[in-house]
Every structure is written in C-alpha cells, then in structure tokens.
Amino acid sequence: MPFWDRALRKNEKMKKIVITIILSIIVNLLYCQVDSIEKQILNYDNSKSVIISKGRSLLLDKFLENDLKKVREIKNYLIEKGEDENYVAFYTAELWLILYWTNEYEDLLTRLKEYTSSEYTEYHIYSSSIRGYYSRGYNWLIYPSQDMLCAKLLQYSKENEDDIINQIYFSNLSLEQMRFLQLNFESITRNENRSYQDTLNLKVESFREEFPKSEYDAFIGKYIKYKYVLGKWGAGVEVFAGMNFPTGRLRNSYRDACFGGGAIDIYFKKFEFILRFFGGSYSLKNDIEYSQGFYSKDSTLKVFLPELSFGYSILDNYRLKLAPFVGIGGFFLNTSSAQRKEIPELKELSVSAFAFNFGASFDIRFGQSKPRYKYYPNNDYGGFVRIRYNFCLPIFSKKHDAIGGQLHTVTVGVGLFARDSKREY
C-alpha cells in the first residue's frame, strides 16, 4: 500500500476521534447545564412567591389556633419582606379583616383613608372572583396563590361579629371612628347578603346625621353606601302580527288585512324612539281599471307601512309599561315586482303617501319578579308581550283623491328589552 494512502487513512481516523471527543464534551456540558437548572429549580425555595405562599399558610394555621399575636407578627413580616412594587401578600379585604382581629385600628383607619384617595374601584360590588372582589387596585401586581385564607377570615369574622364589634367599642378610638369601623366591617362581612344593603344604607344615613363633617364620608360614599337606578339608555326588539282596518274610500276598495313586521326601540330616560316596518296584502273588493285593462277583483296589492315614532312612558315598572306615541311614516301600495316585470303598466296602480301616526303601546313584561331590594332596580331587562294600537293618517296627493281614507292597526307582538343601570350614590 502506498505511503500517502496510509497517511490519508490515518488522518481520517484522527478526525473521527477528534469529532467524537468534541461531541462528548458538548453533551456533557449540556447535561451539566440541565442538571444545574434542575437543581436550582428544586432548591429554589426563597423566592417572594414561595415566601408569601408559605407565610399565608402559616398565618392561616395560627389564626385557626387563635394565636393572634403570631398572626400579627407573620402579617408584619409578609408586608415588610414580601410586598414590593411587583408582589402583593394580602388581598385588600383580607388585610382589613386581619387588622380587625389583631385590634390594630389606627393602622386600619390609615389604610382606609389611603384607599379612599386612590384610584381603586368598588371592591365589593358584584364581583365574580376573589381577585376581582378584593383587589381591583392591584391589576398589575403578582397576586398570592389561591388558598383558604380569605374564606376562613370571612367565615370566622361572620361567626364572631359581636365580639369583634365589642372589641372596637372597648378601644380608645373616638365614637366617630368606632362607628365608621363598624360600618366598614359589616360592609365586608355581609356583602353577599344583598338584602342587608338597604339596612346598611340606612345606617350610613344615621352616621352622616350624627357626624355631618366626618373625615370618612368620602370612603363611605364610595364603598359602603350605594344604590343603583335605571340608566338613561336602553333598547328593545319586537316581532308582531295584527290586523289593519282601512276606513273611508280605502275601505270601499280594499278588505281588512293581516299584517306582520318587526320593530326596534331605543329608550332614553322615559322617552322612546321607535322604528317599525310592517306590511301585508290588501285584496280588492272591485275591479280596478288601468291603461291595459282591469286589475280583477280579489287580486292582491302589497302594502308596506314604515314608521318612525316618538313615545313617552307614563307607566313603567317591572310588570307593565304604557307609552303613547306620535310619529311619521309612509303608505306604499304596489303590485308584486314579478307582476310589474311582466306587465309594466301595473305601476299605474302604485300608491305612495306620507303619513302621520298616533297611538299607544301596552307591554306586559315577563321574566322578572317584584324588586326585593330598594338599592337595585329589577326592570332592567326581560321579555314582553306588546299590544299596540296605531292610527295612520296618509296624506294622499291629488292624483290619488279617489283613494282617501285612514288606517287603524292593532298588533300583538313579543320581544326583549334591556336597560343599562348606573350607580346613583
């Protein structure tokens, strides 16, 4: 074998050895790195999230043991070591309840006043979760993990309400401060009892009469006392059917007709803006002459009656609504498009006129019950059956003098409505 051939084979062998060594080093480094990360993860027990989670668990255990001194120490530690610009150790109401239990009333009063001056929204109104329920001001912070601390604080606070309130009145606070702390405590613990809000509103009125210039009035008005009323705007939809009764010369030419259509209602306070489209077919009582002959008796003509009306509710509650209205509209009488396409001269039978409308609608509402609470309306949405009378006065042009008359329409419809609600105070 030539010398250069043996040298080439030797070089290829060395390359394989070098590549194998390099690959082994890379694999070993990767393994060491993964192993190092795994060890870091397994040994990572001093992060703020872990400290807060373990601290809350320990605080809950001590609370259940009624060791309130230790509860205070753990609370202070978590606030000092756990909370910063990124982390939250307690939801708002949790911290407030803890301060009630540990009798730290001065700290609690300071926090409540700070809460008033902040941009927090109402923490206690119709929340869907504990997070939203107690911490709307913490939207960009890292929350504690879900646990039983809040639930147990609420449970024990409700069960020991008398003792907690008595402790407040045994303190060195002023009477105004004690009454205010009692109101706030009842607002938190009785939040789920909607019927109690009316009682709470009455207690607030009594507090304001006793302390007309209270420094806590802003907090009370924002977070404790509230009442909702119907908002300004609402909307409804309806489908309906009914009978149309022509009068005057219209009745001499056309029979009564069944009509159907749909409507959209826009509500503003007690005012209504109503857009309705309905129509049907008139059958002829007599032959009608046109340039190409006669349109025979018992044939039909399409009728379309658009309407834009303005109404006002003189009766509006959870069960009934009565609203008279006035408006404008149109009266359009035509043969079918297919007939006009086949015989263009049938356009001569077409009639159109501007019209005025007057009448009233009466709604019977369903899907609602009598309001149980004074602080919240109960007729903000639901369904209805509507009985409606409309008097239509078409203004025919001179070329349609032979068709003069008016229309009486009675319809029965079903629909849905909704009104927004707003906080009155």
Which DSSP string do the residues of 357-375 spell out, in sequence order?
Answer: EEEEEEEEEES------TT
In this prediction, residue 16 carries a pLDDT of 62
Mean pLDDT over residues 58-65, rounded? 94
Residue type, 270: K
Nearest to 240 by CA among 274, 206, 269, 216: 274
Mean pLDDT over residues 253-282, rounded? 88
Residues 276 and 309: beta-carbon distance below 8 Å: yes
Residues 333 and 352: beta-carbon distance below 8 Å: yes
pLDDT in tens, 168-187: 999 999 999 999 999 999 98
Asked whether the predicted pLDDT for residue 139 surpasses 90, the reply is no
| Residue 286 in tokens | 């007599």
- What average pLDDT does the chain have? 80
Q: Please, which residues bridge with residue 233 across strands?
A: 268
Mean pLDDT over residues 27-52, rounded? 60
Name the pLDDT band for 3 (thresholds 50, 70, 90).
Answer: very low
Nearest to 112 by CA among 224, 203, 216: 216
Of residues 410 and 49, the one with the higher pLDDT is: 410
| Residue 59 in tokens | 């605080």
| Residue 396 in tokens | 């025919």
Say how many Å lie between the first and final Cα of the chain, rounded. Answer: 104
Asked whether the predicted pLDDT for residue 286 surpasses 50, the reply is yes
Asked whether the predicted pLDDT for residue 111 surpasses 50, the reply is yes
Mean pLDDT over residues 134-159, rounded? 78
d(CA 375, CA 42): 53
In this prediction, residue 270 carries a pLDDT of 92
Of residues 329 and 5, the one with the higher pLDDT is: 329
Residue type, 79: I
- Among 195-209, 240-254, 293-307, where is mean pLDDT lowest? 293-307
| Burial annotation 262-274 (CB, 10 A radius, 16+ → b, else e) | ebebebeeeebbb
In this prediction, residue 135 carries a pLDDT of 43
- Among 217-226, 305-314, 416-425, where is mean pLDDT lowest? 416-425
Tokens 């789920």, residue? 192
* Phi, psi for residue 31 in degrees, rounded to 5: -65, -45
Asked whether the predicted pLDDT for residue 110 surpasses 50, the reply is yes
Top-ranked range on mean pLDDT: pick from 25-39, 359-373, 409-423: 409-423
In this prediction, residue 117 carries a pLDDT of 62
Q: Please, which residues bridge with residue 93 across strands?
A: none
Of residues 235 and 194, the one with the higher pLDDT is: 235
In this prediction, residue 228 carries a pLDDT of 72
Of residues 7 and 106, the one with the higher pLDDT is: 106
Top-ranked range on mean pLDDT: pick from 82-86, 138-142, 405-409: 405-409
% of residues, the chain, pLDDT over 90: 38
* Those residues with Cβ within 8 angstroms of residue 310's Cβ, 6 or more apart along the chain or in another chain: 271, 272, 273, 274, 325, 326, 327
pTM to 2 decimal places: 0.63
DSSP state for residue 143 in the 8-state scheme: P
In this prediction, residue 376 carries a pLDDT of 66
Asked whether the predicted pLDDT for residue 20 surpasses 80, the reply is no
d(CA 49, CA 221): 35
DSSP three-state, residue 276: strand
230-423 CATH, one of 2.40.160.20, 3.40.50.720, 3.40.50.2300, 3.40.50.300: 2.40.160.20
Of residues 192 and 385, the one with the higher pLDDT is: 385
* Those residues with Cβ within 8 angstroms of residue 61's Cβ, 6 or more apart along the chain or in another chain: none
Q: Please, which residues bridge with residue 54 across strands?
A: none
Asked whether the predicted pLDDT for residue 400 surpasses 50, the reply is yes
| Residue 270 in tokens | 């007690």
Asked whether the predicted pLDDT for residue 7 surpasses 70, the reply is no
**Distance from CA of residue 369 to its chain's centroid?**
20
Asked whether the predicted pLDDT for residue 167 surpasses 80, the reply is yes
Asked whether the predicted pLDDT for residue 30 surpasses 60, the reply is no
Top-ranked range on mean pLDDT: pick from 16-20, 121-125, 307-311, 394-398: 307-311
In this prediction, residue 14 carries a pLDDT of 65
pLDDT in tens, 186-231: 988 887 777 777 888 888 889 999 999 899 988 888 888 777 777 7
Asked whether the predicted pLDDT for residue 386 surpasses 80, the reply is yes
Mean pLDDT over residues 340-365, rounded? 83
Name the pLDDT band for 9 (thresholds 50, 70, 90).
Answer: low
In this prediction, residue 41 carries a pLDDT of 47
In this prediction, residue 129 carries a pLDDT of 39
DSSP state for residue 142 in the 8-state scheme: B
Asked whether the predicted pLDDT for residue 118 surpasses 60, the reply is no
